């Protein structure tokens, strides 16, 4: 389980990246130092070989076929320590050579002789058995464009090899130790960084649908983890709110459906207790039909709202004549208003107003608002529907700029208290439950209106006083 943890993965990646960097740096350091040391050896060999070649070409040169150490001491005043020197004539015969080559001679390869004929110096490394490697320069001496002699100078690479071996041992020991310490440090840092994650995990395991009001403590600082915890807390808050809404919705729906079922059951039981006349049975059936119609409206509204919650309803926005729709809906509901002794009036509808909206949803919005006014207005009152074209705003936020249209539905009904105005758009909420039920309300009409308006990027508000009526204002963008 540990090897699958984020802590292990972070530490592993940290060590792997550090290991690649250390190995790359060590390799670069080793190669660079090796080239630098060997180049330094080559420079010294070439310098000494050039000095010997220059001296041997001088008319006053004392170079011959004798001891080169004495010749160098006599002519140049130096005794090169640790250098192997030999001079060959144009035929390849060895002439002078240093004392340390008394019993041996420096090897001469065919490639070196071929380059010497062309006047090109050659560097070679030889590995004699039982001795450190030798670095040899074969340096031709030209006189009148012809090879006069060949100077070979060699130097042991023992010091170079020792330096490189020492560096290699240091790197081989240091890099693994560094990676070991880095892994321990990386694990410590991972533990420190992920410690709040463990706290978040433990707290999240304790959160259930019963305690969604609990939140996770936000760690100090403003880093990615803090943002994650804040987002998680916001999600918990939204879930809690959704659960509360679901509980309330379920409770209200059960209550709303239970009431007509209870009425149906009671009326049937009473009707079946004894034999009754056909008029009595007809009256019971009419009453049952009213309850069934009420249940059907509740179920239809619930189905509509559930589809809005799941995103199943898709608006078919197109340019529609809102003025014409208002006229049609007012004419449709005028008969219902007259039956209750009310006046339903459409005002200021001379100008044709077109909006980009779903025509069916606009009709349902107007029907719900006007029907709501008819239900809660006493006989002799009136309901007015008005359209207002609003020019673009210049002193508001960018999101609210642009032309809009207002649908205003006002009535002279019983009004809504200030406390209830903030809740009337909630599902199943009714300011006067008993009275609403007598008038056939389900408590879902204004919730549907709110969804339709918000789906069209609009706003809906209410202004009302008890006993003085209510004014519902819907603001919709024209485009």
- Give a yes or no: residue 196 inside a domain: no
Mean pLDDT of the chain: 81
Shared domain check, 327 and 271: no
Residue 446 and residue 453: Cα distance in Å, rounded? 10
Q: Please give the DSSP secondary-structure letter assigned to residue 67.
A: B
pLDDT above 70 for 59: no
Looking at the fold, whether 93 and 136 belong to one and the same domain comes out as yes
Assigned domain for 411 exists: yes
pTM, to two decimals: 0.50
Cα end-to-end distance, the chain, whole Å: 57
Shared domain for 246 and 380, answered yes or no, is: no
Given a cut of 50, whether residue 398 has pLDDT beyond it is no
- C-beta of residue 48 within 8 angstroms of C-beta of residue 80: yes
177 lies in some domain: no
- CATH classification at residue 297: 1.10.287
Per-position b or e across 420-452, b if 16+ CB within 10 A of its CB: bbeebbbbbbbbeeeebbeeebbbbbbbbbbbb
- Domain end position, chosen among 313, 328, 346: 313
Q: What is the number of domains present in the chain? A: 3
Residues 61 and 152 in one domain: yes
What CATH number does the domain containing 150 carry? 3.30.450.20
372 and 289 in a common domain: no
Residues 6+ apart with CB under 8 A from 82: 155, 156
Cα–Cα dist 20/23, whole Å: 5
C-alpha to C-alpha distance for 243 and 235, rounded to whole angstroms: 12
- pLDDT exceeds cutoff 50 at 65: no
Confidence of residue 27 (pLDDT cuts 50, 70, 90): very high
How would you class 225 by CB atoms within 10 Å of its CB: exposed for 0-12, middle for 13-18, buried for 19 or more?
A: middle
Burial label for 387, CB within 10 Å (0-12, 13-18, 19+), is buried
Over residues 246-290, the pLDDT tens digits come to 776 677 677 667 767 887 888 888 888 888 888 888 888 888 887
Whether residue 293 is found in the same domain as residue 361: no
Which of 286, 313, 340 is the last residue in one of the domains? Answer: 313
Residue 457 in any domain: the answer is yes
Asked whether residue 260 is assigned to any structural domain, the reply reads yes
> Residue 199 above 60 pLDDT?
yes
Residue 23 has pLDDT above 90, yes or no: yes
CB 87 within 8 A of CB 56: yes
Its domain, for residue 116, covers 2-161
Are 415 and 309 contained in the same domain? no
Asked if the structure places residue 191 within a domain, the reply is no
478 three-class SS: coil
Query: Are residues 323 and 309 part of one domain?
Result: no
Average confidence (pLDDT) over 170-191: 90
Q: In the prediction, which pLDDT does 287 show?
A: 82
Round to whole Å and give the CA distance between 324 and 326: 5
Task: Tell me whether residue 200 is in a domain.
Answer: no
Q: Identify the CATH number of the domain in which residue 431 sits.
A: 3.30.565.10
DSSP-derived secondary structure letter, 254: H
Are 281 and 355 members of one domain? no
Mean pLDDT of the region 371-379: 90
pLDDT in tens, 101-127: 767 778 888 888 888 888 899 999 988
For residues 343 and 332, state if they share a domain: yes
User: Is residue 188 in a domain?
Assistant: no
Q: Is residue 337 located within the same domain as residue 289?
A: no
- Residue that finishes a domain, picked among 313, 334, 364: 313
18 and 135, same domain (yes or no): yes
């Amino acid at each position: 389980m540990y090897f699958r943890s984020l802590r292990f993965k972070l530490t592993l990646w940290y060590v792997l990246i550090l290991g690649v960097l250390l190995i790359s740096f060590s390799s670069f350091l080793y190669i660079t130092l090796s080239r630098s040391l060997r180049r330094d050896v080559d420079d010294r060999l070439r310098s000494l070989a050039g000095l010997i070649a220059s001296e041997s070409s001088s008319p006053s040169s004392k170079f011959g076929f004798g001891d080169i150490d004495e010749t160098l001491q006599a002519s140049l005043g130096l005794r090169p320590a640790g250098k192997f020197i030999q001079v060959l004539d144009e035929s390849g015969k060895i002439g002078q050579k240093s004392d340390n080559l008394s019993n041996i001679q420096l090897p001469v390869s065919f490639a070196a002789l071929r380059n010497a004929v062309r006047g090109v110096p050659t560097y070679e490394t030889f590995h004699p058995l039982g001795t450190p490697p030798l670095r040899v320069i074969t340096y031709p001496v030209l006189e009148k464009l012809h090879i006069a002699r060949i100077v070979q100078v060699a130097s042991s690479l023992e010091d170079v090899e020792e330096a490189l071996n020492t560096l290699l041992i240091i790197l081989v020991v240091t890099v693994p130790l560094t990676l070991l310490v880095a892994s321990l440090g990386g694990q410590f840092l991972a533990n420190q960084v992920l410690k709040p994650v463990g706290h978040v995990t433990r707290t999240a395991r304790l959160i259930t649908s019963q305690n969604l009001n609990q939140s996770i403590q936000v760690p100090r600082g403003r880093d990615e983890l803090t943002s994650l915890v804040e987002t998680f807390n916001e999600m918990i808050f939204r879930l809690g709110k959704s659960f509360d809404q679901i509980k309330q919705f379920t409770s209200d729906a059960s209550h709303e459906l239970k009431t007509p079922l209870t009425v149906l059951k009671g009326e049937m039981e009473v009707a079946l207790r004894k034999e009754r006349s056909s008029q009595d049975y007809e009256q019971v059936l009419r009453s049952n039909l009213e309850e069934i119609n009420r249940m059907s409206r509740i179920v239809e509204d619930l189905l509509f709202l559930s589809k809005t919650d799941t995103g199943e309803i898709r608006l078919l926005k197109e340019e529609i004549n809102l003025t014409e729709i208002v006229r049609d809906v007012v004419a449709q509901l005028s008969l219902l208003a007259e039956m209750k002794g009310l006046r339903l009036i459409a005002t200021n509808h001379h100008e044709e107003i077109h909006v980009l909206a779903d025509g069916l949803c606009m009709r349902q919005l107007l029907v719900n608002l006007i029907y709501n006014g008819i239900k809660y207005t006493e006989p002799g009152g009136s309901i007015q529907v008005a359209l207002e074209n609003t020019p673009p705003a210049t002193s508001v936020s960018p999101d609210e700029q642009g032309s809009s249209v207002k649908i205003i539905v006002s009535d002279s009904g019983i009004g809504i208290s200030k406390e209830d105005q903030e809740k009337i758009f909630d599902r199943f909420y009714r300011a006067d439950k008993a009275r609403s039920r007598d008038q056939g309300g389900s408590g879902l009409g204004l919730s549907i209106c709110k969804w339709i308006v918000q789906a069209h990027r609009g706003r809906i508000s209410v202004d009302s006083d008890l006993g003085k009526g209510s004014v519902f204002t819907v603001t919709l963008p024209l485009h």
